[in-house]
Amino acid sequence: DSLYKRYGDSIRTTFAKLGYSYSGLSGKSAEDFGTGKPFIPYLNVYSNNIVNENDYQYVRINDGEKQNIVQYGDVLFTLSSETPEEVGVGSVYLGIDEVFLNSFCFGFHIENKELAYPPYFSYYVSSTPFRKFIYPFAQGSTRFNLCKADFEKTSIKLPSLENQKHIYAILNRITEKIETEKSLLEHYTTQKQYLLHQMFI
């Protein structure tokens, strides 16, 4: 949030000017799921700022069937939820495999690479300014849905392209450091359990 506050108002644009949106899987029944080609489930989008490529589910896609394929750099959003705070939670796909998207989310493909650096959005969509921006577009009473048309045409502020890359590099290094520390902690915990076991043999 502090990085966005410092660098975040260089560009005023809309999602509609950055690219185009697309829907998730359509026309599927329960029998289609369990085997076939990988798709990104709802919780993968909801729980990760970058899609976890080890957490796919599978769906049967027939030859010639028209379904949207998620591409590198696509921003994925949850489309509906039981609470307005959980609508429009985002994640970015940075993989290269052919993968599909579940029907309770939608994807956004960024075409204008002169204004937007797709990996940056993996942090931007979870920032406080973006969450405040997207909250009003959650509509409903018992279940809330994102009003996608209004969301796409409403103005947003972004850092310059150079600063987007700079912010992403900083936050990505921090993320990598956290993952390294978590891994070390797991190894130390295993070592501790082993040593304690040796003491009480």
What would the pLDDT profile of 6-29 be if each residue is shown by its tens digit? 887 789 999 999 999 999 999 999
Q: Is the pLDDT of residue 47 over 70?
A: yes
Confidence of residue 30 (pLDDT cuts 50, 70, 90): very high
> In this structure, what CATH number is given to the domain that contains residue 118?
3.90.220.20
What distance separates the 2 farthest-apart alpha carbons in the chain? 67
Alpha-helical runs (H) found in 48-141: 121-124, 128-134
Residues forming beta bridges with residue 190, ordered by sequence position: none
Sign of CA dihedral 148, 24, 53, 143: positive
What would the pLDDT profile of 135-161 be if each residue is shown by its tens digit? 999 998 888 999 999 999 999 999 999
Instruction: State mean pLDDT over 109-116.
Output: 95
Terminus-to-terminus CA distance in the chain, angstroms?
51
The answer to the question of residue 189 being in a domain is no
Phi, psi dihedral angles at 107 (to 5 degrees) = -110, 160
Domain range enclosing 57: 15-154
pTM of structure: 0.85
**What average pLDDT is seen over the chain?**
92
The answer to whether the beta carbons of residues 67 and 14 sit under 8 Å apart is: no
CA pair distance 105, 89, nearest whole angstrom: 9
Q: For the chain, what percentages of helix, strand and coil (3-state, to nearest 5) are there?
A: 40, 25, 35
pLDDT of 93: 97
The answer to the question of residue 33 being in a domain is yes
The secondary structure of residue 2, as a DSSP letter, is H
The answer to whether the beta carbons of residues 72 and 98 sit under 8 Å apart is: no
The answer to the question of residue 169 being in a domain is no
Beta-strand relationship, 100-101 and 33-40 = parallel
Q: Is the pLDDT of residue 102 over 90?
A: yes
The answer to the question of residue 115 being in a domain is yes
The answer to the question of residue 45 being in a domain is yes
Q: Is the pLDDT of residue 201 over 70?
A: no
The answer to the question of residue 90 being in a domain is yes
How many folded domains does the chain comprise?
A: 1
Instruction: State mean pLDDT over 51-61.
Output: 96
